[in-house]
A and B are shown apart, each in its own frame.
Chain A
Amino acid sequence: MTVSSRSKWILPVLAVCLLIILASILFGAQSLNMAQAWHEWRTHTPLSEAPTLSILLNQRLPRTLAALLAGAGLALAGCAFQALLRNPLAEPYTLGVASAGALGTWLSFILVDVGWFFGLSLRLPTAQICAFAFAGAEVLLVYGLASRKRRMAPSVLLLAGVTMGMLGNSGIMFTRYLAAPERLVMMDRWLMGGVDVLGYRPVITLFIGVVPCAAILIAQAAKFDQFGFNAELAAGRGIHLGRLQVTTFFVGSLMTAIIVSVVGPIGFVGLVIPHSVRMITGSRHRLLMPLSLIVGGAFLCACDIAARKILPGETPIGIITTLIGGPFFLYLLIRRKFTDWDV
């Protein structure tokens, strides 16, 4: 099947994404009466006396925006890491970047509890800074380990990433007892991943983190095409590989860290989405990356709808994405030719 014959799916996919996003605003624990909300809006009823509009504006809308931004950023980070590492299984979660960011965020919670950052934490986005410090260090370490040999081995990269992920998780378990018990419930809930934000502060944090980073990554699209095809050919065409690596690792881990610090470690979005979108767009990044952005956002909205609807109460969204992404990862692993895996 040629690329042009597949690209006819782009518009239908975009339409479905739009429907999912709308559904994410409409459906929830309670169904909202839109006419009622519209009436409350028109009559300028104060929010305290307008229950429907209040739920819409203070819960559904920020929640949907958070899912959109987080999903978009994670999917895009997946695209970028896959191209840069020339490894279709790379994404923030399998590389361990997400877990490192989670460990950083977790430690920032504890630092706040212990009171080291008392006073400071009010002014600095401690969680984001700690998350980025850990995520950035982790990605450099994994890359360093995997590229010690002349040719970067895909299997070493993934094993190192998964191992770092496990280390991050045990770091979290190890430091649990340091946390104040009454906050542990909140922290555990964060750790399972969730976009159930209240109000717009988290949304603004996500926006500031995701939008500039996404723009920088998409601006590298043509370079990712070249690099994904062959590194030396790319260099011969005038691409500065070191600069591309530094930019992508810095921006990709920053974006992942900020997302994780707000919504928790949500796995496999960066794996499932780029692969699915590639079936429609082919591998040209200037089409793949923007569409992954949109589909990733809509995907996380859909997962969030499921999180609200499957069980009474809330299912953590991280569990849902892992239930979808885990088997997907295994499928890709099985399908790959083993000749590609020589260490």
Chain B
Amino acid sequence: MYTLNAESLNFAYEPGSDVLRGVNASVIGGRITGLVGPNGSGKSTLLRLLCGFLQPNSGTVKLDGRPLVSLSAAERARTLAFLPQMVDPVFSLTVFEVVCLGRYPYTGMIGSLRSHDLEVVARCLQDTETEPLRHREFGSLSGGERQRVLLASILAQEPKLMLLDEPTSSLDIHHEVEVFELLARLARQGYGIAVVTHDLNLAAQYCEELLLLSADHSVLASGKPEEVFTEALLSTAYAASIRVGKHPFTGAPFVAAQSTRETPP
């Protein structure tokens, strides 16, 4: 099982305005880790530090004990995959071509795919149930279909760990659940998944581990959903009055905001 460990990360885009303060985080094979917290708390930045796009001002990110910076770009790409929040291509590609893009870390300069690469692509299309879409143009797909194709394209990288930035932000409830079901299935296959999300109830339902960032850019709590999603912690993190009950069907914590402000204006 692969593990990505971040220890006491500090980061600022500009000196003086910290985006992350002393953050510890880990992504572990076979588990979904949810990164939650209010807007601007640094979730997406943390994800970019975890995949090595950004370098922390202090602290370390290690992949199975090796510093992430010591890995070559191709090595990193074969272990860690990153999915950004908005993917809006300018040129039209078919679903098949999009998934083939995931094979880049394994191909030479010309980028031609061998039969093994095509087998992987076919398997990824099947795993995400996007095989019937393979000849469609990516731009013509619905939001839910797009996310599944993007996940297929990430899977074609054959990563061990996946870092996903709000993969369900633009989806309706049905497709949101569909994506999380797919993630759960992938986690059972052994993938380690970190997912930034604003949907606390789905996070409570599908994530084994949660990391709650607060508006002051530090980790307020981490652990199992029951430990992190308490009324006290969530109310502090979101500066709102938040109630936590039990999900009527799954028994997971069920989160609802009571009012938008803690104190009236």
The reply on B101 being an interface residue by CB < 8 A is yes
Name the residue on B nearest A231 (C-beta).
Answer: B84
Alpha-carbon distance between A82 and B87 when the two chains are bound, in angstroms:
17
Kindly supply a per-residue 1/0 record for chain A positions 255-294, scoring 1 wherever the CB is within 8 Å of any chain B CB and 0 otherwise.
0000000000000000000000010001110100000000
Q: Which residues of B contact A87 (CB under 8 A)?
A: 90
The reply on A88 being an interface residue by CB < 8 A is yes
The reply on B135 being an interface residue by CB < 8 A is yes
Given contacts A237-B77, A237-B157, contact A222 B97 (CB under 8 A): no
Q: Are B109 and A228 in contact (CB under 8 A)?
A: no
Q: Among A238, A282, A284, which residue has the most Cβ atoms of chain B within 10 A? A: A238
Kindly supply a per-residue 1/0 record for chain A positions 188-199, scoring 1 wherever the CB is within 8 Å of any chain B CB and 0 otherwise.
000000000000
Kindly supply a per-residue 1/0 record for chain A positions 1-38, scoring 1 wherever the CB is within 8 Å of any chain B CB and 0 otherwise.
01100000000000000000000000000000000000
Given contacts A88-B90, A286-B110, A286-B111, contact A229 B104 (CB under 8 A): no
Q: Which residues of A contact B249 (CB under 8 A)?
A: none
Name the residue on A nearest B91 (C-beta).
Answer: A283
Q: Which of chain B's residues 68-103 have a Cβ closer than 8 Å to chain A? A: 72-74, 76-77, 80-84, 87-94, 97-98, 101-102
Alpha-carbon distance between A233 and B89 when the two chains are bound, in angstroms:
11
Partner of A221, one of B72, B82, B111: B111
Q: For the side of the interface on B, what is the size category?
A: 20 to 34
Count, chain A residues at interface, CB 8 A: 28
Kindly supply a per-residue 1/0 record for chain A positions 211-240, scoring 1 wherever the CB is within 8 Å of any chain B CB and 0 otherwise.
000000001011001101110110111111
Alpha-carbon distance between A228 and B91 when the two chains are bound, in angstroms:
7
Alpha-carbon distance between A239 and B91 when the two chains are bound, in angstroms:
19
The reply on B144 being an interface residue by CB < 8 A is no
- Determine how close the nearest CB of chain A comes to the CB of B6; give it in whole angstroms: 17
The reply on A176 being an interface residue by CB < 8 A is no
- Determine how close the nearest CB of chain A comes to the CB of B4; give it in whole angstroms: 14
Alpha-carbon distance between A238 and B101 when the two chains are bound, in angstroms:
12
The reply on B105 being an interface residue by CB < 8 A is yes
Partner of A222, one of B76, B90, B92, B109: B109
* 27 A-B residue pairings within 8 Å (CB atoms): A2-B94, A2-B135, A3-B94, A83-B91, A87-B90, A219-B109, A221-B110, A222-B104, A226-B104, A229-B89, A232-B84, A233-B82, A233-B87, A235-B82, A236-B77, A236-B82, A237-B77, A237-B157, A238-B74, A238-B76, A238-B104, A278-B91, A282-B93, A283-B93, A283-B97, A286-B110, A286-B111
Chain A residues packing against B (C-beta within 8 Å) = 2-3, 82-83, 86-88, 219, 221-222, 225-226, 228-230, 232-233, 235-240, 278, 282-284, 286
Given A230-B87, A233-B83, A240-B73; 13 other pairs, CB 8 A cutoff = A3-B94, A222-B110, A226-B101, A229-B91, A229-B101, A233-B153, A236-B82, A237-B101, A238-B73, A238-B76, A238-B77, A286-B110, A286-B112
